Chain A
Amino acid sequence: DVKVTQSSRYLVKRTGEKVFLECVQDMDHENMFWYRQDPGLGLRLIYFSYDVKMKEKGDIPEGYSVSREKKERFSLILESASTNQTSMYLCASSFGSYNEQFFGPGTRLTVL
């Protein structure tokens, strides 16, 4: 079974803090994705990566950056957290392009 894990289930941060969200997958998947999910707006893609050190912007990359130094790990970074980044963050991975995506349990981030 594919396992995608995220470092925290719940996180509370202050405005202006630098925030790291970590995602790890154990199936040697090339592709990894970061989404955010908000009521009324659904799931939106922030960034994705198709290989180590490679990244592509998704639909809403503003205010975020990512890092992929190892194949199994994909980090989402909020350089200076703002209240409008309060959301549920979901990581996913897939083997190759256009294949089934597997999701982690999510991190509910609150920025005060």
Chain B
Amino acid sequence: KQEVTQIPAALSVPEGENLVLNCSFTDSAIYNLQWFRQDPGKGLTSLLLIQSSQREQTSGRLNASLDKSSGRSTLYIAASQPGDSATYLCAVHEAAGNKLTFGGGTRVLVKP
């Protein structure tokens, strides 16, 4: 059974520092991996989708890398801002079955 882990569960950084968020998964037979942002009490906002054949995907200050063979993805957020404070979740689409398996999330606080 696929398990997705995000460590650490919480992270606090000063404004301007680069953020590095980790996601690991146990079964490398994935179709793609999606990163989301969630503000308190709100729904999920899709940030990036990275296909299993890709190594990287970029959108503005966000860059996601994927190493399928080692079961890892990293989300980099450059020059963090207080508005980046949120919980970040990763989720994998397994090759068998059209469903996402989510990690527990990393709660990020960017201090001004």
Contacts and interface: CB of A to CB of B under 8 A. Distances in A.
Interface of A: 4, 31, 33, 42-43, 45, 48, 50, 58, 90, 92, 97-106, 108
Contacts of A42: 102-105
Chain A, interface SS category = strand
A101 B43 contact: no
B81 interface: no
Nearest to A91: B43
A4 B46 CA distance: 12
Interface in B24-70: 31-32, 34, 36, 41-46, 49
Contacts of B89: 43
Contact of B42 (A58, A97, A99, A105): A105
> Chain B, interface size: which category?
20 to 34
Interface of B: 31-32, 34, 36, 41-46, 49, 89, 91, 93, 98-100, 102-105
A102 B34 CA distance: 11
A104 B43 contact: yes
B43 A100 contact: no
A108 B45 CA distance: 17
Given A43-B89, A103-B43, A103-B44, A97 B98 contact: yes
A48 B44 contact: no
